Amino acid sequence: MSAPGTGAGRVGERVLVGRIADLPEGSQTSVRVGDQNVLVIRDQGTFYALRNVCTHQNFPLEGGPVEDGAITCTKHGARFDLQTGRALRLPAVKAVRLFRTEVEGEEVYVSPL
């Protein structure tokens, strides 16, 4: 799912993801941050942002099931911790890159860490 109004941001720039009210629990929203495709996930009330690319074979993570604070790649089943990006299950061994999320007023932003 992609949020309306998400635009491309320059490198190092904070990018608007959307309004909190439009990003319900369990939502997955992809945005561009510089040249990166970033997936913003709302899980247990917290927003997480990670590169939308599995470190196994570069498959998009968007749409993968989120459970126990981790997202599962639908291609071969690798799991990544939302807080640390760490690969929790083979076949992925490399962590996925994380991005910073910020809530300001009613809006959610993402930027490079």
**Residues of the shown chain interacting with ligand FES in the complex, contacts defined by CB under 6 A:** 54, 56-57, 59, 73, 75-78, 91-92
Residue closer to ligand FES, measured from CB, 59 or 84: 59
Residue closer to ligand FES, measured from CB, 27 or 59: 59
Phi and psi, residue 20, nearest 5°: -50, -40
- What is the 3-state composition of the chain as percent helix, strand, coil, each rounded to the nearest 5? 5, 45, 55
Q: Do 17 and 32 meet the contact criterion of CB atoms below 8 Å apart?
A: no
Q: Which residues contact 105 (CB under 8 A, 6 or more apart)?
A: none
Q: How far is the CB of 54 from ligand FES (least distance, A)?
A: 3
CA 7/CA 71 separation, integer angstroms: 24
Residue closer to ligand FES, measured from CB, 46 or 57: 57
Q: How far is the CB of 99 from ligand FES (least distance, A)?
A: 19
Q: How far is the CB of 58 from ligand FES (least distance, A)?
A: 7
Residue closer to ligand FES, measured from CB, 44 or 57: 57
